[in-house]
Amino acid sequence: MEAPDKAKYYEREELDVAPIREMAQEVLSEVSRIIVGYGEILQELFIALLVNGHILLEGVPGLGKTVMAKTFAKTLGIGFRRVQFTPDLLPADITGTKIFSQEEGTFVLQKGPIFANVVLADEINRAAPKTQAALLEAMAERQVTIEGTTLPLEKPFIVLATENPIEMEGTYPLPEAQLDRFLMKLWLDYPEEDGEVEIMRRQISGESPSVEQITSSQEILAAQKLMNLVYIDDRILKYIRDIILKTRNHPQLSMGAGPRASLVLMKCAKARASILGRQYVTPDDVRALVVPALNHRILLKPEAELEGLDVRSVIKNIIEEIPIPI
């Protein structure tokens, strides 16, 4: 539902977000040369990049999550590493460790895969909690300590963690407190019928098309600073507050969203506005991001689950119940 008059939310006429809009359009267009469909998912990945947040991807195997992450990083011109999480994976396998060098006769630091701009944590729920905690600590602090040496991580830095929703045996589900560290939780559904045909058509030649580098880490960091200047009216802030408060006293929810959810919605709405070429946030920016921003931060009551409800449907009902600011 579009706001009746967008000009009501407009301010800071001197702000020019065209560089962000152009960067987003070029990056998403280039990634779409490899990835069929998932346009909304790709836009949300770019939003996470601008906000400097992390993404939890959930989807059945074979949907191209690894290819998507790798293509995204290559198009951005930044470093990419993939870590396959297994039960025997140790924290040092992610962060790194010091090893003895025969040549130098001393211990030298060997950095782990966490030292990259885009880190794909594949099947994060297969690793033991201690290893999960090491990754999540690095996500929050944006630095790691290896045997007393503290090292900052790359900038920009984004973790794309994946989960398989159909295979629970031998897994360690992330606790709610750790899930809250992810900016958004996204679902990768099966492709559309036409998209399935297009995927096969692109494989007929047997050649894998390459993507071009569109931007760089310096330009991304500059875009992050520019995005922070996007104007958000007090009415929008109160609108976000009302949505969050509604989750805390909703009859079908046993746990509502915390203050971090308010900040996430505010920042993501500003990023979406800048991607669309606006210097100001509208209610539509908030509404478009409520489900991915909140679905992993709230819990259904058991009786609601028995009634066949899910978190997404409850969130959508909340959105419709809260009046749009005018």
Q: Which residue has better confidence, 276 or 3? A: 276
Which superfamily, per CATH, for 1-17+226-326?
Answer: Magnesium chelatase subunit I, C-Terminal domain (1.10.8.80)
104 pLDDT above the threshold of 50? yes
* % of the chain surpassing 70 pLDDT: 88
Least confident of 69-73, 205-209, 312-316, 319-323: 205-209
Report the pLDDT value the prediction gives residue 195, as an integer from 0 to 100: 67
Q: How far apart, in whole angstroms, are the C-alpha atoms of residue 312 and residue 302? A: 15
Q: How far apart, in whole angstroms, are the C-alpha atoms of residue 170 and residue 173? A: 10
Report the pLDDT value the prediction gives residue 3, as an integer from 0 to 100: 45
Task: Assess whether the region 1-17+226-326 and the region 19-202 belong to the same CATH fold.
Answer: no
Q: Is the dihedral of CA 144, 119, 38, 193 positive or negative?
A: negative
Query: Whole-prediction pTM value?
Result: 0.85
Report the pLDDT value the prediction gives residue 63, as an integer from 0 to 100: 65
Q: Which residue has better confidence, 175 or 273? A: 273
- Residue located via tokens 């009902």: 317
Report the pLDDT value the prediction gives residue 2, as an integer from 0 to 100: 46
Report the pLDDT value the prediction gives residue 62, as an integer from 0 to 100: 67
Q: Which residue has better confidence, 172 or 221? A: 221
Delimit the domains of the chain by residue range: 1-17+226-326, 19-202
Q: What is the mean pLDDT of residues 201-222?
A: 78
Q: How far apart, in whole angstroms, are the C-alpha atoms of residue 25 and residue 197? A: 25
Which superfamily, per CATH, for 19-202?
Answer: P-loop containing nucleotide triphosphate hydrolases (3.40.50.300)
Q: How confident is the model at residue 125 (pLDDT cuts 50, 70, 90)?
A: confident
Q: How far apart, in whole angstroms, are the C-alpha atoms of residue 162 and residue 123? A: 5
Q: What is the mean pLDDT of residues 231-259?
A: 90
Q: How confident is the model at residue 4 (pLDDT cuts 50, 70, 90)?
A: very low
Q: How confident is the model at residue 241 (pLDDT cuts 50, 70, 90)?
A: very high
Q: How confident is the model at residue 205 (pLDDT cuts 50, 70, 90)?
A: low
Here the tokens at position 262 are 């308010």
Helix-, strand-, coil-residue percentages of the chain, each rounded to 5: 45, 15, 40
Report the pLDDT value the prediction gives residue 207, as an integer from 0 to 100: 60
Q: How far apart, in whole angstroms, are the C-alpha atoms of residue 89 and residue 83? A: 10
Average pLDDT, the chain: 83
148 pLDDT above the threshold of 80? no
Report the pLDDT value the prediction gives residue 150, as an integer from 0 to 100: 81
Q: Counting beta carbons within 10 angstroms of the beta carbon of residue 113, is it exposed (0 to 12), middle (13 to 18) or buried (19 or more)?
A: middle
Q: Which residue has better confidence, 149 or 264? A: 264
Task: Catalogue the E-assigned strands of the chain.
Answer: 55-58, 80-84, 96-101, 106-111, 118-122, 143-146, 149-152, 158-163, 184-187, 253-255, 299-300
293 pLDDT above the threshold of 70? yes
Report the pLDDT value the prediction gives residue 262, as an integer from 0 to 100: 93
Q: Which residue has better confidence, 13 or 220? A: 220
Angle between helices 283-294 and 39-51 (to 10 degrees): 90
Q: What are phi and psi of 178, to 5 degrees?
A: -80, -35
